[in-house]
Structure 1
Amino acid sequence: MRDTAVVLQVAIPFVWFGLVAGISFLEAPLKFRAPGITIPLGLGIGRLVFRAVNRLEVVLAAVLLVALALHTPTAPAWGVTAAVLGVLAVQLAVLRPALDRRAEQIIAGNPPPPSHRHVAYIVLEAVKVILLPILGVLLAQVLL
């Protein structure tokens, strides 16, 4: 069981990194450049994609926490884990609901006033993209 926990601890941050980088920094901006994609259509697609990604992130976080409980990592790894989970919590509890409401208004043809929440979400995604490989390296040190 210990070996499985260690493998999961190392694999999950890198898989999670790839998920966030691929969706947030490739798919999300590129979909609006596709022929025929309007802002409302792109927002509708984005809401579906990010809802699925966020659910997968919660699953990855839960499995990671179980793996960490089975084989306790170093204090720095716990700190980075806490930071990643904190970022995810802010995104899910504070920003995503507000961004969903905003997207619904735009899709309905009632654009709301400007907001900085989207920029905040992107900044937090960038923070995750930085922290996740660091976490993976910290957790992989047990293998060296």
Structure 2
Amino acid sequence: MVLAISFLEAPLKFRAPGVTVPIGLGIGRIVFRALNVVEAILAAAVVVGLVLGGFRTAGAVAVGVLVVQLGAVRPVLTRRSDRVLAGEDTGGRSHAHLVYVALEVLKVAALVWLGVAAS
């Protein structure tokens, strides 16, 4: 899900005919909100697994990255997209967006690590 949404849907939606930045941001907010709800539910399952004694490091990294994304980076991105949707010029890409993408890469690596360790 993370690979499909973060690395395919998110950048490609802005290339679709007629999709403006405000429309793309609106779609992105809905899609990422849904993704984050599912991620939070799955993270809870990982935490249960950690408590029961499995694959502590990989699971902790994946859950920790999600917590940072949701608690620190997403609020910054939401405030910025609020300004863009209100018509304010924000001056190009935000550094928070690059941080979010870097954290997505780290999270995917941790999830792969967790999957390999669990098999």
TM over 0.5: yes
**Deviation string, structure 1 residues 68-98 (Cα, Å, up to 9, x no partner):** 444x22xxx2011111111111100001011
Higher relative contact order (CA 8 A, sep 6+): 1
- RMSD (CA atoms): 1.3
The AA in structure 2 aligned to 1:105 is: R
Mapping 1:113-124, distance limit 5 Å: 113=91, 115-124=94-103
Displaced runs of 4 or more, over 4 A: none
- Of 119, 122, 126 in structure 1, the residue corresponding to residue 105 of structure 2 is 126
Following superposition, the deviation at residue 113 of structure 1 comes to 4.5
Q: 1:34 to 1:113 in 2, by over 3 A?
A: closer
- Of 38, 45, 50 in structure 2, the residue corresponding to residue 63 of structure 1 is 45
Paired residue for 2:24? 42
Determine if the alignment matches structure 1 residue 89 to structure 2 residue 67: yes
TM-score normalised by L of structure 1:
0.77
On the 8 A contact 2:50/2:59 being kept in 1, the answer is no
Pair member with larger Rg = 1
Q: Which moves more between the two structures, 61-70 or 102-111?
A: 61-70
Task: Give aligned-pair identity as a percent.
Answer: 52
**Deviation string, structure 1 residues 94-142 (Cα, Å, up to 9, x no partner):** 01011011011101100224530000000000111111011111112xx
Q: How many residues are treated as equivalent by the alignment?
A: 118
Q: Counterparts of 2:61 and 2:41 in 1: how far apart (Å)?
A: 17
The AA in structure 2 aligned to 1:42 is: G
TM-score normalised by L of structure 2:
0.92
